[in-house]
Homo-oligomer: A and B are copies of this chain.
Amino acid sequence: MIKSITINELAKIANVSKSTVSKALNDKPDIGAETKKRILDIVQQYDFSPHPFGKGLKNKFTENVGVVFCRDMHPISANPFYSRVLEGVEAEIAFNNRNLMLQFVTEEQTKGIPKMLRERQVDGLILIGSMTREYIQLIQSKDIPIVLVDPKFEIDSCSQVVMDNEHGAFTATQYLINMGHKEIGFISGDMARLSFKQRFTGFLKAMKYHNLPVNEDYISVGGMEKGYEHVLGLLKRKNKPTAIFSSNDINAQYGYKAVHDLGLKVPDDLSIVGFDDIELSHMVSPQLTTIRAYKEELGSIAVRNLLKLVENRDQRPITSVIPVRLIERESVRKIN
């Protein structure tokens, strides 16, 4: 650790006691205006920052927030999404003048209670991604404020920030319908994921709302990054959908590949709508029409809510739903 000026030395320089310096630093009322100014000037001049360890030992706040980032083993899958969430988290933490302590875990490998929590180095925790229910409960048992971002499961009595998955999926499906499609397929990764389940619900509701039958043959779900296989399967049947709603962009991309490999084209032969709006989706051709999730927003709201929980320990759990919106690009063709 680099040593530097302390409150004691500062006090000596200013010719006051260290408690007076402390008062100046912490905007306490019982201090004279000129004294305060004089001290603050010296603080400026010497570029003094109070040492957080001294503070923390005393007042029990670390001013650090912990982030446990559950990364996917299949790195492309969820990571481009969660990386953006992390950026939102970081920005909001910095804005609130806290420090961010990061730990990665995978769904399978969590290494028990995070070190930063065991050592009480953080005031609260943001949990990003699809950690197991058991892991979350383990952390909850330590009685520290936590906020979940896009959890894999429905978790009761826990603050969380989620997307408006159902509405997004409804919108996506309705868009396809409005573009004249009636034979609409649905593909998705692991349906155990809450988000995907909700997106499926939104899909079904839109179909129902528009009095369209849902053809079981047009639905292909499960696995990790199996979009290629899903789309291939759907297109090899005798009667095939004219459009597909994919519950995430990655699988939509893999779908592109399947269409391409069959010698067909998007959107001429198959229209596709995705969900998430990752960077990749406007990089490919044709650019993917998709539902944009405001990923940084998910992160920053999570931090804001966490900070509320930290400041007020008997605040009830907060659930925030972040809106989404349709981004029209080139992957859907109007028919009839």
Known: A2-B143, A100-B101, A103-B94. A121 touches B52 (CB 8 A): yes
Task: Specify the chain B residue showing the minimal Cβ separation from A115.
Answer: B99
Report yes or no: A120 in contact with B76, Cβ–Cβ below 8 A: no
0/1 per residue, A257-276, Cβ < 8 Å to B? 10011000000000000000
Q: Is A192 an interface residue (CB 8 A)?
A: no
Report yes or no: B94 in contact with A60, Cβ–Cβ below 8 A: no
Copies in the complex: 2
Contacts of A84 in B (CB 8 A): 75
Q: Is A19 an interface residue (CB 8 A)?
A: no
Q: How far is the CB of A1 from chain B (nearest CB, A)?
A: 4
Given A51-B57, A52-B53, A253-B283, output 11 extra A-B contacts at Cβ < 8 Å: A2-B142, A2-B144, A53-B57, A53-B62, A75-B84, A83-B83, A91-B104, A94-B115, A97-B115, A99-B115, A100-B102
User: Which residues of A in the span 30-89 have a Cβ within 8 Å of any Cβ on B?
Assistant: 49-54, 56-57, 60-62, 64, 67, 71, 75-76, 79-80, 83-84, 87
Report yes or no: B102 in contact with A90, Cβ–Cβ below 8 A: yes
Contacts of A119 in B (CB 8 A): 49-52, 99
7 A-B pairs with least C-beta separation: A76-B279, A53-B53, A1-B60, A102-B102, A53-B56, A90-B104, A53-B57
Q: Please, how many angstroms separate the alpha-carbon atoms of A217 and B171 in the complex?
A: 49
Binding site for B on A (CB under 8 A): 1-4, 49-54, 56-57, 60-62, 64, 67, 71, 75-76, 79-80, 83-84, 87, 90-91, 94, 97, 99-104, 111, 115-116, 118-121, 123, 142-144, 253-254, 257, 260-261, 279-280, 283-285
Q: Please, how many angstroms separate the alpha-carbon atoms of A51 and B56 in the complex?
A: 10
Q: Please, how many angstroms separate the alpha-carbon atoms of A237 and B99 in the complex?
A: 53
Report yes or no: B2 in contact with A120, Cβ–Cβ below 8 A: yes
A-B CB contact pairs (8 Å), 15 listed: A1-B120, A3-B120, A52-B53, A52-B119, A57-B57, A71-B87, A75-B84, A76-B280, A91-B104, A99-B101, A99-B115, A100-B102, A102-B102, A257-B285, A280-B280
Task: Specify the chain B residue showing the minimal Cβ separation from A111.
Answer: B94
**Quick one: which of B50, B103, B118 contacts A49, CB cutoff 8 A?**
B118
Contacts of A51 in B (CB 8 A): 57, 119-120
Report yes or no: A283 in contact with B76, Cβ–Cβ below 8 A: yes
Q: Please, how many angstroms separate the alpha-carbon atoms of A118 and B97 in the complex?
A: 12
Q: How far is the CB of A76 from chain B (nearest CB, A)?
A: 4
Report yes or no: B103 in contact with A101, Cβ–Cβ below 8 A: no
Known: A53-B57, A56-B1. A99 touches B116 (CB 8 A): yes
Q: Please, how many angstroms separate the alpha-carbon atoms of A50 and B82 in the complex?
A: 33
